[in-house]
């Protein structure tokens, strides 16, 4: 059974009857979603806001790219982790990068590898 196509005008009218309103956000150049590991960047996106019963839903479409955040590791942190875990400076640096700079996690990671 084939479905009948609905024109955009009919769709807007039906959504309006259901208490839904869609609005496009004009002139958006970039959307950035920041996470603990990096940023998800959407360039030249189309952003629509769906307002439904006072609740706003954002719909974003476009081309995405990911930028991974490099963790800046302090040399004194590397020394501390190496001393506490009994590891080399390179191992301590890698553990700090792997744990996002978390000293306690880096020490636990290296300690568990030595067992």
pLDDT by residue (tens digit) across 13-44?
888 888 888 899 999 999 999 887 788 999 99
In this prediction, residue 106 carries a pLDDT of 93
**Based on the structure, what is the number of domains in the chain?**
2
In a domain, 2, yes or no: no
Position 39 in a domain: yes
What confidence score (pLDDT) does residue 115 get? 62
Do 55 and 82 lie in one domain? The reply is no
CATH code of residue 19: 2.20.70.30
**Low-confidence spans in the chain with pLDDT less than 50:** none
Structure-token pair, residue 14: 């039906």
**Domain check: are 14 and 60 in the same one?**
yes
Domain contains 92: yes
The pLDDT of residue 82 is 93
Residues 6+ apart with CB under 8 A from 47: 24, 25, 28, 31, 58, 59, 60
């Amino acid at each position: 059974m084939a479905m009948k196509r609905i024109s955009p005008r009919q769709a807007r009218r039906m959504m309006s009857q259901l208490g839904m309103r869609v609005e496009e956000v004009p002139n958006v150049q970039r959307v950035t979603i920041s996470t603990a590991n990096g940023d998800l960047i959407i360039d030249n996106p189309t952003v629509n806001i769906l307002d439904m019963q006072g609740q706003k839903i954002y719909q974003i479409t476009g081309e995405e790219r990911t930028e991974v955040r490099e963790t800046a590791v302090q040399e004194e942190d590397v020394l501390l982790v190496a001393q506490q875990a009994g590891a080399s400076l390179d191992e301590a640096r890698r553990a700090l990068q792997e744990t996002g700079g978390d000293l306690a996690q880096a020490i636990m990671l290296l300690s568990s590898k030595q067992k």
